[in-house]
Amino acid sequence: GISSVVLASLIFSAFIYLLLARPRSVKKVLNHALKRGEFVPWLQGIVDKHGNLCGAEVLMRWQTSSGEIINPDIFIPAAEKSGLIVPMTTSMLPELQRYFLQQRALIPSGFVLSLNICKLHFQNLGLVDECREFLKVFPEQSLVLCLEITERELIEQTSLTDLLLKQLDEIGVKIAIDDFGTGHASFNYMRSFKVDFIKIDRAFINTIGSASISASLVDIIIDMAAKLGMEVVAEGVESGAQAEYLIAHNVAKLQGFYYHKPVPLALFSAKFKHYQ
- List of residues contacting ligand C2E (CB under 6 A): 44, 58-60, 71-73, 76, 85, 89, 116, 118, 178-179, 202, 236-238, 255-257, 262
Q: 89 vs 173, which CB is nearer to ligand C2E?
A: 89
DSSP 3-state of 20: helix
DSSP 3-state of 105: coil
DSSP E strands in the chain: the ranges are 39-48, 53-63, 69-70, 112-116, 144-150, 174-180, 197-200, 231-234, 253-254, 263-264
* Cα–Cα distance list, 29 to 41, 60, 230 (Å): 19, 16, 40
Q: 130 vs 148, which CB is nearer to Ca ion?
A: 148
100 neighbors 138 (Cβ within 8 angstroms): yes
The size of the interface with Ca ion (CB under 5 A), counted in residues, is: 7
Q: 43 vs 135, which CB is nearer to ligand C2E?
A: 43
Q: Smallest gap, in angstroms, from Cβ of residue 178 to ligand C2E? A: 5
Residue 194 binds which entry of ligand C2E, Ca ion, none, CB below 5-8 Å type-dependent: Ca ion
Q: 194 vs 202, which CB is nearer to ligand C2E?
A: 202
Instruction: List the one residue out of 74, 4, 1, 5 whose CA is nearest residue 33.
Output: 74
Distance separating alpha carbons of residues 88 and 34, to the nearest angstrom:
6
Residue 169 binds which entry of Ca ion, ligand C2E, none, CB below 5-8 Å type-dependent: Ca ion
Tell me the residue nearest to ligand C2E as measured from the CB.
Answer: 256
Residue 55 binds which entry of Ca ion, ligand C2E, none, CB below 5-8 Å type-dependent: none
Span 98-137, contacts to Ca ion by CB under 5 A = 116
200 neighbors 252 (Cβ within 8 angstroms): no
**Residue 197 bridge partners (DSSP):** 176, 231
Tell me: does residue 151 bind Ca ion (CB under 5 A): no
Residue 242 binds which entry of ligand C2E, Ca ion, none, CB below 5-8 Å type-dependent: none
Contact positions vs Ca ion (CB under 5 A): 116, 148, 169, 178-179, 194, 235
